[in-house]
Chains A and B, each alone.
Chain A
Amino acid sequence: TQLLEQSPQFLSIQEGENLTVYCNSSSVFSSLQWYRQEPGEGPVLLVTVVTGGEVKKLKRLTFQFGDARKDSSLHITAAQTGDTGLYLCAGDGTGGFKTIFGAGTRLFVKA
């Protein structure tokens, strides 16, 4: 069974701090996606990483895909209150059409 484990489950930090959240699996994924979800809304795609070792930057967010394509990380520099939300990693499941999600990291950035 393919599983994506995210850590930490919950993170509360002060505005301006840096943070890293992790997404790990024992399975190889052809690609991994990161989403952010705010209360009462559906997840919004942030990035897709497809190549082992790939690093993508989106303003203050840096995403990395592990060399073996089994793990990924999201680093946020100088967090802002607007970064508050649930961060989900996801990958293509067996069969090719379903997407497997991790349980998410709930981030709260305090002013």
Chain B
Amino acid sequence: DAGVTQSPTHLIKTRGQQVTLRCSPKSGHDTVSWYQQALGQGPQFIFQYYEEEERQRGNFPDRFSGHQFPNYSSELNVNALLLGDSALYLCASSRQSWGQFFGPGTRLTVL
């Protein structure tokens, strides 16, 4: 049983560009959450998707948007990239439980 998978593993972009990150949840999970983890910090909640809708959002600007597909996979889009967007982006899946299963993350570097 595959766990949570994310792609790509690493990504380098320049300021102003747009990026799309992808996540496939653990089998049987229907909820996907996205987090941003800056170096030396804990993960910060971006938003959560359930039944193809954004269910809750953290304190992130509208440049951050997402989508969930009928097969529960999800995308995170970030527009107009800033240097400060450089971070590890984590996807976590769950199904009506407290504990989330995290993917290995996508390391985004903005130059």
Contacts and interface: CB of A to CB of B under 8 A. Distances in A.
Interface string B33-44: 101000011111
Interface stretch (A37-45, A53-61, A66-74): A37-45
Contact of B102 (A43, A92, A100, A103): A43
A93 interface: yes
B42 A101 contact: yes
Nearest to B44: A101
B87 interface: no
A99 B35 CA distance: 9
A64 interface: no
B43 A101 contact: yes
Contacts, number: 59
A103 B98 contact: no
A35 B90 CA distance: 14
B105 interface: yes
Contact of B100 (A4, A41, A99): A99
Interface residues of A, number: 27
A42 B105 contact: yes
A93 B99 contact: no
Given A42-B4, A42-B105, A97 B56 contact: yes
Given A33-B98, A92-B98, A98-B56, A42 B42 contact: no
A98 B60 CA distance: 13
Interface of B: 4, 33, 35, 40-45, 48, 50, 55-56, 58, 90, 92, 98-105
